[in-house]
Chain A
């Protein structure tokens, strides 16, 4: 059912050693036995359980909070309310320029609530149940305010304003203009105009919700946070100033994290509340987010509307560019989210050669859950948009969706390819991957299957989703948002040491949530040191007190195979060099070049019988080092390497520069069948072809492709966070928010090619996000299927059965959004 083959002629880097093999995962032995340690598994003596009191209103002034009844309940340890937070902390640093920079965001709501689920107070008690009981005794009086739900109305005159300090619901606005769009209009034979496209709100909803145990040491003034936050580097930068504490006072620790997908980046407000409680109550405090709270008040993927879209096209199907207005709905607070205004620019042209792009971008706040990173963050919305343009143009101009892609795809021989905004696509062969994907679904025989489906009264459709997974971002892109921000480049750290008994021990700066870092790091180390992955111990988890924490440490944004493994490789090469230098002295070789590492020994190249076991190397330096010559003074066999990708600060005036180092790619093809009576559809065949450069562990890569595909299919078919007109969330748990179950998933066919990145030391590319390719493919397949039943245009990313039924019932409504004009 699932098949992976690698076309060997594309493998330019010969795969020797353990890298490139699907070895057993190091993480599995503990995880299959239930011996992982997740946030909720951490226990401390006499710890108190935290429950947050949350707003039932989408927008309301808080007129009073009375915690006295809760505090009087036996077993309640204490409470925290917004007024205390406002006195004890400073508002979180805001990334945007005015007016977004004026937003005041605290760990708990201060003065007013801005979405259903906004945290108003916290209660700490002896048990989880008691904390919930006590929370019900907290009396909050609200004065409801008018709500803002539709991002297109957020800036209307008279719209309620969420953040009075900002004076407006605007977070950020800017114009992106590259090439010459007016010249493209003049050159075009046709212009396709689309009034509105909408990318829906959903999130990857990791199965483990957010949580932490926080301890405060009154002697040192230090907090230890056993938290499943997936980007401690960012959390510490946000929390330190808010808590008026040095960064070293915030120690982040995690071992296993039960999925993240970006949704565990913005937990700093809750973590600050826990820090205040741990200090106030002088006891460890524990918080595990309830599923309902995760769905209503954690972090949704951002919702984006594209308006007044124009696409100039030549008669032969060459597409010249696009112009539109885009509105991002950040929800109630713009925590990480202003970056969503510019992160899409990593993939400005998608996979295509068009050179003339103009986007007027606006981000607003609304009375909904705050948005934040979500697998494919910000690029997914944009790539969906570019794929919709391709398929709507093809549909309206009666061009073949395969032909129009091949005509407009960036070509393999054009790599590395500089995009109109200065990003450099490193490598890839999109057209070839498309052919492989089409072959997997039997594309040549689809017209016969279409007729056969018609004979049964069904509508068959096929759709392509091409997407990019840009990885290893240049934080300098934040300066496109706010030129005063002092972030640029990127980094990750690893240490590799050889210990007394010859153990090779690796420490990572990352916070994996299933991405198998222990395994892949061991493969890279084993190959460089001439040992096996079993000989390499990679410490599980993250601890910001280890010497492997850097400013951007964490696991997010498709980069481990470049930044994490780049650091591992650098540290291992340092260690290998030190072992050779030591062995050269001990064995009397002619310098370190005269030593090779093989089978756990440092051997003389000219006399392999003269060999020093690693155990002896470790023992000499660590425990038996008298009499060593001074030229070995710097040999510690404990090596730290910081990988920094080669980035420049972008040109903020032109919004031009390289924003990411690598560009993995996926082509998906979906074949589905629609029941025209009901709108119910079923995916019959599905293929995903991946190219993420050199794969260290093909099975792990394929697993990421499967998972990203499932997330995309969920978003396309089932998963949405709708709100009613009063701002009440309508999908607050897994009943209303249906994620794919085993019976929902179609058979998946996978394949891969390898176009090594010329910009990374291992030829690898970050991957795992897949940029929502399955959303693009399902939309395209539905539009293809509906051609024979009213010719509707798919203008929304989320198409549950009832929406397909609406498209069947009233195709004119969607068709009215699209026009073709002569240029």
Chain B
């Protein structure tokens, strides 16, 4: 019998159901980016260190380079593309802009997804809790100063409408 090298996968991403035959060794992040063309989720390393690929998987913030697409069969996933609604930015997106929490923007989608997970579960985080929540996300531009401020501002609702 020939070894199975691909498998059908059905995932719900940002409320949309996607069904594809996927190479069994394809990473979830490559499935999201290359097969579904949702390119907001980025890749910055080969080793699970950088967090640019952070998504929400069954309500948990995970690094989508650390699992295979076939493992995600049946799962519900949210990516950065899900945050803005009807053209209105999510408060975290707004806060990142207002506080200049991004420069090149490459880490930003993953950073915002980690921050959103924090605020979903801890609406009033301390600065230390914010820093811990994003310690798996590398930013090489900002030194994190404005990112921490932006997340704190979003938590307090201090963003313009």
Enumerate chain A interface residues (CB-CB to B < 8 A). Answer: 1-2, 22, 24-25, 27-38, 40-41, 43, 127-129, 204-209, 256-259, 261, 288, 290-292, 513-516, 699-700, 702-704, 706-707, 709-711, 733-735, 739-743, 745, 748
Asked whether B17 is an interface residue with its Cβ less than 8 Å from the other chain, the reply is: no
Contact B105 A256 (CB under 8 A): yes
Whole-angstrom distance between the alpha carbons of A487 and B141 in the complex? 31
**Contact pattern, B 97-134, Cβ under 8 Å of A = 1, otherwise 0:** 11010111111110010000000000000010011101
**Between-chain CB contacts (< 8 Å), 16 pairs:** A25-B97, A30-B105, A31-B105, A33-B40, A33-B80, A34-B40, A259-B141, A291-B46, A513-B103, A514-B102, A733-B45, A733-B49, A739-B138, A741-B135, A741-B136, A742-B135
Contact B143 A24 (CB under 8 A): no
Which residue in B81, B108, B142 is a CB contact (below 8 Å) of A31?
B108
Q: Which 3 A-B pairs rank lowest in CB-CB distance, beginning with the nearest? A: A34-B40, A258-B106, A31-B105
Contact B140 A204 (CB under 8 A): yes
Question: In the complex, what's the smallest C-beta–C-beta distance from A301 to chain B, in angstroms?
Answer: 14
Given A706-B145, A707-B140, A710-B144: A127 touches B44 (CB 8 Å cut-off): no
| Chain A residues with CB under 8 A of B45 | 291, 733-734
Residue total for B at the interface (Cβ-Cβ under 8 A) = 61
Q: Chain A at the B interface: mostly helix, strand, loop or mixed?
A: loop
Whole-angstrom distance between the alpha carbons of A22 and B130 in the complex? 25
Whole-angstrom distance between the alpha carbons of A312 and B35 in the complex? 66
Contact A734 B138 (CB under 8 A): yes
CB closest residue in chain B, given A257: B104
Question: In the complex, what's the smallest C-beta–C-beta distance from A554 to chain B, in angstroms?
Answer: 15
Contact B145 A2 (CB under 8 A): yes
Given A34-B39, A292-B46, A703-B103: A207 touches B112 (CB 8 Å cut-off): no
| Chain B residues with CB under 8 A of A34 | 38-41, 79-81, 108-109
Q: A32-B108, A259-B103, A740-B144 provided; 16 other pairs, C-beta below 8 A? A: A1-B145, A28-B96, A28-B105, A31-B105, A31-B108, A34-B38, A38-B42, A207-B106, A209-B44, A258-B42, A514-B141, A516-B103, A740-B143, A741-B138, A742-B134, A742-B147
CB closest residue in chain A, given B131: A742
Question: In the complex, what's the smallest C-beta–C-beta distance from B125 to chain A, in angstroms?
Answer: 12
Whole-angstrom distance between the alpha carbons of A408 and B136 in the complex? 44
Contact A734 B49 (CB under 8 A): yes
Asked whether B52 is an interface residue with its Cβ less than 8 Å from the other chain, the reply is: yes
CB closest residue in chain A, given B37: A43
Given A33-B93, A742-B135: A703 touches B100 (CB 8 Å cut-off): yes
Asked whether B56 is an interface residue with its Cβ less than 8 Å from the other chain, the reply is: no
Contact B97 A28 (CB under 8 A): yes
Contact B52 A207 (CB under 8 A): yes
| Chain B residues with CB under 8 A of A739 | 138, 140
| Chain B residues with CB under 8 A of A28 | 96-97, 102, 105
CB closest residue in chain B, given A30: B105
Whole-angstrom distance between the alpha carbons of A22 and B146 in the complex? 14
Which residue in B52, B93, B146 is a CB contact (below 8 Å) of A706?
B146
Considering only residues 30-56 of chain B, those with a C-beta below 8 Å from chain A are 30, 33-34, 37-47, 49-50, 52
Question: In the complex, what's the smallest C-beta–C-beta distance from A76 to chain B, in angstroms?
Answer: 15
Contact A32 B112 (CB under 8 A): yes
Contact B47 A32 (CB under 8 A): no
Contact B149 A2 (CB under 8 A): yes
CB closest residue in chain A, given B144: A742
Question: In the complex, what's the smallest C-beta–C-beta distance from B54 to chain A, in angstroms?
Answer: 11
Whole-angstrom distance between the alpha carbons of A515 and B142 in the complex? 11
| Chain B residues with CB under 8 A of A32 | 89, 93-94, 96-97, 102, 105, 108, 112
| Chain A residues with CB under 8 A of B146 | 2, 703, 706
Contact B107 A207 (CB under 8 A): yes
